[in-house]
C-alpha cells in the first residue's frame, strides 16, 4: 500500500487494514463480518502456507455475499500449478513481487477491466520502495514485534524452497536504523529481520554500528546470520546493537544431503562462531531439516550428535523438509528421491528413498529425548472471558452458554476454550450435536475442551465423541504436527480433564494419556508426587496466598507454560 501511495495510485483514506484485534484474535466469522461491514470495493489477501486454507474459505464465503466487491490475492502460495488457481475464490491473483503488478491492478479496477492474473516483471529497484513503518502504513506497537526487511533475494536458494530472484537487492541503507529507532521510541521489545541472509549486506559491520546507534532502548534483535562468518569485532557490534538470537542454515551434517539441496556447512566455523556469539549472550538457532535427499535415520542421528556436542540442541529449529510451491523439488520430486509429501500445507516430506514415515517419527523421538524438548507444543486452555474483544472462553455447564455461541458466531475468537461438567453426559451430548453448527461459521477455530469433575475421570467414549465432533483432520494445525509424538492425537482440538482431586489427577496422569490433566490448586501446594508428574496447574492469582504463588512459580520455573490462571470459583461452581 505504501508503494501504491508513493506512485499516486492510492490515497491514505482510500484503504484500511483489517483492525488488529480482529486480525489477531477474531474467528473466521468475525473476520468475514468485519469485511462485510466495511463494504469495500476491493479486498486483498496475502496467502502463506499457514493461512491459505482459511483465506480461501473466507473469500468464498464473502464473494457469495458481496457480488459488487472484487477479491484479489498474492503471496508465496500464488504459484502456477497450485490449487489456488482453480479455487474460484479470487477475481485476480498476483504472482511474484506485489508492488508493480498491484499498481496495474488498481488501474484496471478503475477502468472496470480487471484481469485474472498479474505477474511481476523485472526485479523491482528497492531504492524506490517506501518502508511501511516509516511511511505510516504500519504503526509500531509495544506488544508486537517489528519486522524489518532490508534486502530481498538470496545467494543461496535450497531446492525445497520457492524460487527467489538470484542475487541480492537492498532497500535504502538508512531504512533499517530509522525503523529501529521508531521501534525503540515506541517501546517495542523485539524486532526481527526477515532478510534471508542479513550478513551478506556490503560493509555489514558499518550497518550493525548504525543499528546500535539507533537502538537506544535495547530492542531485542534477531536475524539470519552465518556464525561461521563472524569474528570478535562483529560479535561485539551485534551485542552492542542488542542482537539476542541469530538463526543459521545447518540442514544436516551429511555432505551428500547438503549438496543435493544446494546448502553447505562449515562445521568448524559454525562451532567457532557459536562460541563467540554465546560469549556475548547471543543465542544460535540452527535450522535442521528431516528427510533431506540421501539422509537416512543414521545420518540424521549423526546430525543430532553434532548438535549435542556443539551445545546447540535445545536451540535448534527442527522441521521436516518442505516441498514448497514453486520449488525445484516440487517440480521433480521423484528425481530427488521423495516418494511422498503432503499435498496440503505445510507440504512436508513424508517418505523418501532413505527414510520412511516411521524413520522420521523415530528421529523426532530421538531429538525430543536427546535435548529434552517438545516438538509441536499444543495450545493451552484460556480461562479469560475474552481475547481482543472476542469470546475466548465459554462455560457450557448451562444451556445459556452454548446458546450464546450459536446465536453470535461472529463473536468467537480464533481459539476458544469450552468448559463442561464431565458428569453431565446429557449436556455434553448436546454440545456434540451443536458442534456442527459451531464449526459451520468458524471451521478453522482451535478448540480446547475442558471436562471438569471431582468424582471421576471422563470415559474415553465421551472424550472421543467431543474430539471427533470438533475435529478437522485437514486443518493446518493438525498437518503441521503430524510428526509430533504427543499421546493425544489431535491438536486443533485438545481435550483436558480438570479436577481439584489429587488422587484423580494422579490417576489421570498415569492412565489417561489421551487427556491433558489440569489440577485446580486450592490454598496449598499438592503433594510432591503430583508436582513431579507436571500436570497443568490452574491457580487464581487474586485469591492465592503469596507464599503459595512463590512455591508454585518455583516448582514450575522450567515449565511456565503449564501454569494457567483461572478464577478459583470456576472449579467450585455447579451448573
pLDDT of residue 163: 75
The CA distance from 171 to 132, in Å, is 12
Of the options 3.20.20.70, 3.30.830.10, 3.60.90.10, 3.60.10.10, the CATH number for the domain spanning 138-371 = 3.20.20.70
Domain ranges of the chain: 2-119, 138-371, 386-571
102 close to 127: Cβ distance less than 8 angstroms: no
pLDDT of residue 10: 93
Integer Rg of the chain from CA:
25
Residues whose CB is less than 8 angstroms from the CB of residue 494 and which lie 6 or more positions away in sequence, other chains included: 378, 379, 381, 447, 448, 449, 488, 516
Topology of 386-571 in CATH? TIM Barrel (3.20.20)
What phi and psi values does residue 349 have, to the nearest 5 degrees?
A: -65, 140
Q: The pTM is what?
A: 0.94
Number of residues that make up the chain = 575
Q: Can you tell me the mean pLDDT for 295-321?
A: 96
The CA distance from 28 to 22, in Å, is 10
Topology of 2-119 in CATH? Rossmann fold (3.40.50)
Per-residue confidence at 575, pLDDT binned at 50, 70, 90? very low
Q: Which of 110-119, 371-380, 434-443 has the lowest mean pLDDT?
A: 371-380
- pLDDT over threshold 80, residue 149: yes
Cβ–Cβ contacts within 10 Å for residue 381, how many?
A: 23
The CA distance from 432 to 428, in Å, is 6
What is the largest distance, in Å, between two alpha-carbon atoms of the chain? 73
- pLDDT over threshold 90, residue 374: no
What phi and psi values does residue 450 have, to the nearest 5 degrees?
A: -105, 115
pLDDT of residue 574: 54
- pLDDT over threshold 60, residue 169: yes
- pLDDT tens digits along 419-449: 999 999 999 999 999 999 999 999 999 999 9
pLDDT of residue 99: 94
Q: What is the mean pLDDT of the chain?
A: 95
- pLDDT over threshold 80, residue 146: yes
Residue with cell 538457532: 285
- pLDDT tens digits along 12-51: 999 999 999 999 999 999 999 999 999 999 999 999 999 9
Assess whether the region 2-119 and the region 386-571 belong to the same CATH fold. no
How does DSSP classify residue 249? E
Pairing mode, if any, of strands 338-341 and 349-352? antiparallel
Q: Can you tell me the mean pLDDT for 54-68?
A: 96
pLDDT of residue 167: 84
Task: Give the CB-side neighbour count of residue 208, counting CA atoms within 13 A.
Answer: 23
The CA distance from 320 to 352, in Å, is 11
List, in sequence order, every residue forming a beta bridge with 108; answer none if it has no partner: none
| Cell numbers placing 555 | 516448582
**Is the peptide bond between 346 and the residue preceding it cis, with omega within 30 degrees of 0?**
yes
pLDDT of residue 573: 61
Amino acid at each position: 500500500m505504501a508503494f501504491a501511495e508513493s506512485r499516486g495510485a492510492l490515497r491514505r483514506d482510500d484503504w484500511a487494514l483489517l483492525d488488529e484485534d480482529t486480525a489477531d484474535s477474531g474467528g473466521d466469522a468475525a473476520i468475514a463480518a468485519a469485511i462485510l461491514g466495511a463494504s469495500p470495493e476491493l479486498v486483498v489477501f496475502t496467502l502463506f502456507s499457514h493461512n491459505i486454507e482459511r483465506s480461501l474459505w473466507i473469500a468464498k464465503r464473502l464473494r457469495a455475499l458481496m457480488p459488487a466487491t472484487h477479491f484479489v490475492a498474492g503471496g508465496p502460495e500464488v504459484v502456477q500449478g497450485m490449487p489456488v488457481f482453480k479455487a474460484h475464490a479470487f477475481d485476480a491473483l498476483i504472482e511474484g513481487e506485489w508492488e508493480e503488478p498491484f499498481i496495474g491492478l488498481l488501474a484496471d479496477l478503475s477502468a472496470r477491466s480487471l484481469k485474472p492474473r498479474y505477474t511481476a516483471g523485472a526485479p523491482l529497484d528497492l531504492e524506490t520502495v517506501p518502508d511501511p513503518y516509516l511511511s505510516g502504513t504500519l504503526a509500531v506497537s509495544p506488544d508486537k514485534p517489528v519486522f524489518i526487511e532490508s534486502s530481498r533475494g538470496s545467494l543461496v536458494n535450497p531446492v525445497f524452497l520457492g524460487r527467489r530472484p538470484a542475487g541480492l537487492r537492498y532497500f535504502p541503507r538508512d531504512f533499517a536504523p530509522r525503523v529501529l529507532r521508531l521501534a525503540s521510541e515506541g517501546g517495542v521489545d523485539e524486532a526481527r529481520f526477515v532478510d534471508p541472509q542479513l550478513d551478506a549486506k556490503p560493509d555489514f559491520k558499518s550497518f550493525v554500528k548504525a543499528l546500535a546507534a539507533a537502538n537506544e532502548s535495547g530492542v531485542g534483535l534477531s536475524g539470519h546470520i552465518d556464525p561461521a562468518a563472524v569474528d570478535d569485532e562483529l560479535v561485539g557490534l551485534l551485542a552492542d546493537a542488542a542482537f539476542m538470537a541469530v538463526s543459521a542454515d545447518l540442514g544436516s551434517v551429511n555432505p551428500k544431503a547438503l549438496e543435493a539441496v544446494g546448502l553447505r556447512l562449515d562445521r568448524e566455523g559454525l562451532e567457532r562462531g557459536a562460541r563467540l556469539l554465546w560469549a556475548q549472550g547471543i543465542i544460535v538457532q540452527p535450522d535442521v531439516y528431516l528427510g533431506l535427499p540421501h539422509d537416512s535415520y543414521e545420518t540424521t542421528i549423526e546430525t543430532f550428535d553434532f548438535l549435542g556436542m556443539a551445545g546447540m540442541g535445545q536451540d535448534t529449529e527442527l522441521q521436516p523438509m518442505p516441498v514448497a510451491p514453486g520449488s525445484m523439488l516440487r517440480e521433480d520430486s521423484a528425481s530427488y528421491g521423495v516418494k511422498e509429501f503432503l499435498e496440503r500445507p505445510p507440504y512436508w516430506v513424508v517418505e523418501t528413498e532413505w527414510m520412511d514415515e516411521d524413520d522420521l517419527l523415530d528421529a523426532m523421538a530421538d531429538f525430543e529425548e536427546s535435548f529434552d524438548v517438545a516438538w509441536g507444543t499444543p495450545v493451552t486452555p484460556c480461562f479469560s472471558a475474552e481475547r481482543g474483544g472476542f469470546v475466548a472462553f465459554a462455560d457450557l455447564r448451562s444451556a445459556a452458554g452454548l446458546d450464546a455461541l450459536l446465536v453470535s458466531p461472529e463473536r468467537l475468537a480464533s481459539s476458544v476454550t469450552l468448559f463442561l461438567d464431565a458428569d453431565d453426559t446429557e449436556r455434553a451430548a448436546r454440545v456434540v450435536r451443536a458442534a456442527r453448527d459451531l464449526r459451520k461459521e468458524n471451521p478453522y477455530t482451535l478448540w480446547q475442551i475442558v471436562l471438569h469433575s471431582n468424582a471421576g475421570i471422563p470415559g474415553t467414549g465421551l472424550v472421543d465423541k467431543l474430539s471427533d465432533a470438533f475435529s478437522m483432520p485437514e486443518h493446518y494445525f493438525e498437518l503441521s504436527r503430524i510428526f509430533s509424538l504427543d499421546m493425544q492425537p489431535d491438536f486443533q482440538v485438545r481435550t483436558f480433564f480438570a479436577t481439584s482431586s489429587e488422587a484423580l489427577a494422579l490417576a489421570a496422569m498415569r492412565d489417561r494419556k489421551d487427556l491433558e490433566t489440569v489440577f485446580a490448586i486450592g490454598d496449598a501446594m499438592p503433594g510432591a508426587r503430583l508436582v513431579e508428574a507436571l500436570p497443568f496447574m490452574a491457580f487464581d492469582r487474586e485469591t492465592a496466598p503469596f507464599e503459595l504463588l512463590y512455591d508454585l512459580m518455583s516448582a514450575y520455573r522450567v515449565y511456565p507454560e503449564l501454569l494457567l490462571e483461572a478464577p478459583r470459583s470456576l472449579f467450585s461452581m455447579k451448573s
